[in-house]
Amino acid sequence: MTTTTNRSTARPSLLVRACVPALVAAGLAGNALADTEHYGCGLNPEGSLVVVQGDAILGRTLVLGIDNPLGTQSAGSIGAVYLSAAPDAAFPCGTTAFGFSMFGPGSPGEALVDLDPNRLIGLYFAGPWSGPGQTANASIALPNVPAFAGYDLFAQGVLIDPTGLGQTVIGATEGLRLRLEPAASVFEPVFEYGAIEIRRASAESRAFDYEYDDGVQDVDDDTSPLTTTTLDAQIDHSDYYGVPIGTAAATHVSHLGARVLSAAMTTSAQVEGNLFSEDAGGSANLRLEFTLTSRSRFAVDASATTTAGYSQSFVHLGRDGQTLFTMGAYNGSTDSNGASGWLEAGTHRLEAYATAQSFAPAVPDTATLDLTIRLFHLADFDLDGDVDQDDLANYDFEYADGSPDADVDGDDDTDADDRALFDAAWSAATGT
């Protein structure tokens, strides 16, 4: 379970003098939408560098968490995050570095950021690491420098085990790309998260015979409003004599950002057929509420896969008892769907899950679900993350056609009021 119990000591050093000429342009000028993306080529473990709190918005504080999910270092290891204006030259991979892998002695790691002094922005120290799932957190105060908007920064963490008692002394994390959004952002709509009822991964297995009647369950549960949470549950179940009964696993990764909400879930289950009444199941769930203070442009994309048997994946987004988006895959089907347009102001409810159940020995039952919901500026009519001439041209076309999508004020009438609202928002966003 990912938690945030550690305090961090940061050494902020985002230096204007060196960063502006070295930053890697994202090509979005001042209209960039804050975003993060992991990178690397598998030599450093997934889930080793996560966003704990905040977004890459200039003038705000971003908290990154360092973890060794493999547990190959001792509790008390010290963490730090390198922040650079450029990735390693081998991006999206890195330079192979022996002796810097969390996978253990002899395993190569990757150096994923450019450590040239002209590109290195700073080293941010984190508190001590307490063990797998307990992130050591580093706080990064992003400067309010408008010239940085639309550029990317690149982060990589390290854990150092001063005791030397673990399998690894120095372990490097995966990389994280940060796209910077201006402080006075044109992307005003934000998710305001309310009740986070479930963020869970669970696995269970049961069986019965005349000498044995038992079951086991593993649940990884976290309802805290962390920006990014990774949850895992896994069971390999045997009876008293060591006879295999069943296996089950579930993984839940969810990101609750200011303008991006995403979830990825994978579940599997299989029984062996050695005892009576065997069953196994893996389940991943997300259920929460969020509020929008104003009518907002949005896009949702979801995809799901299931194997034949007893597996299903499902997502539902609703407001005031009305279904705004739903998609599901069941017992051997797959589905992929999306929607875009307007979300009204008010409280919305999201439920998503993937579950796999096995009752008879066969191939594993599996289910996956991937979901992303994004908010966009009112004038970002083509929903591509920036406000430009294309948005103006697209709105002109839809407005001339009387399309409901051009109904900016939501009064079910596309008229001159909508034209005026859009033009004002577009001018404010583009500065023209």
Strand partners, 39: 175
Mean pLDDT (whole number) for 333-348 = 94
For residue 9, pLDDT over 90 is answered with no
* Residues 101-116 pLDDT 10s: 999 888 899 999 999 9
* Residues 149-191 pLDDT 10s: 778 999 999 999 998 888 999 999 999 999 887 765 555 677 8
* Structural domain ending residue among the three candidates 179, 205, 221: 179
**Domain identity same for 396 and 368:** no
Residue 280 C-beta-side C-alpha neighbours within 13 Å: 32
**Domain identity same for 314 and 417:** no
Q: Helix, strand, or coil here: 416?
A: helix
Phi, psi of 90 (to 5 degrees): -90, 10
Residue that wins the pLDDT comparison between 148 and 189? 148
- pLDDT, the chain, mean: 86
Residue that wins the pLDDT comparison between 324 and 149? 324
Residues 430 and 432: their CA atoms lie apart, in Å, by 5
Residue 10 lies in a domain: no
* Residues 375-388 pLDDT 10s: 888 888 998 877 88
The number of domains in the chain is 3
* Structural domain ending residue among the three candidates 151, 179, 207: 179
Residue 184 lies in a domain: no
- Residue 30 pLDDT class (50, 70, 90 cuts): very low
* Residues 302-319 pLDDT 10s: 999 999 888 999 999 999
**Lowest mean pLDDT across 87-96, 184-193, 205-214:** 184-193
Residue 8 lies in a domain: no
Q: Which of 173, 181, 88 is nearest to 142 (CA)?
A: 181
**Lowest mean pLDDT across 119-133, 137-151, 255-269:** 137-151
Residues 366 and 354: their CA atoms lie apart, in Å, by 9
* Structural domain ending residue among the three candidates 145, 179, 213: 179
Supply angle C-alpha 101, 106, 109, rounded to 5: 25
**Domain identity same for 320 and 406:** no
Q: Which residue has the tokens 């945030």?
A: 4
For residue 11, pLDDT over 60 is answered with no
Residue 401 domain boundaries: 389-430
Q: What is the pLDDT of residue 186?
A: 52
Mean pLDDT (whole number) for 186-209 = 82
Mean pLDDT (whole number) for 30-41 = 74
Q: With pLDDT > 90 as the criterion, what percentage of the chain qualifies?
A: 55
Residue 290 lies in a domain: yes
Mean pLDDT (whole number) for 184-203 = 79
Residues 374 and 377: their CA atoms lie apart, in Å, by 10
**Domain identity same for 370 and 423:** no
Q: Which of 149, 154, 195, 166 is nearest to 20 (CA)?
A: 149
Residue 20 lies in a domain: yes
Residue 273 lies in a domain: yes
Phi, psi of 305 (to 5 degrees): -135, 145
Whole-structure pTM over 0.85, yes or no? no
- Residue 33 pLDDT class (50, 70, 90 cuts): low
**Domain identity same for 361 and 228:** yes
Structure tokens at 314: 């499902």
**Domain identity same for 331 and 297:** yes
Judged by phi (left if over 0) then psi (alpha if -120 to 50, else beta), residue 195 lies in beta
**Domain identity same for 296 and 353:** yes
**Domain identity same for 173 and 316:** no
Structure tokens at 202: 């669970």
Between β-strands 108-111 and 192-209, what pairing exists: parallel, antiparallel or unpaired?
A: unpaired
* Residues 245-255 pLDDT 10s: 889 999 998 98
Q: What is the pLDDT of residue 209?
A: 67
Mean pLDDT (whole number) for 9-15 = 35
Q: What is the pLDDT of residue 17?
A: 35
**Domain identity same for 160 and 209:** no
**Domain identity same for 327 and 356:** yes
Q: Helices 389-400 and 416-430, interaxial angle, to 10°?
A: 180
**Domain identity same for 341 and 204:** yes
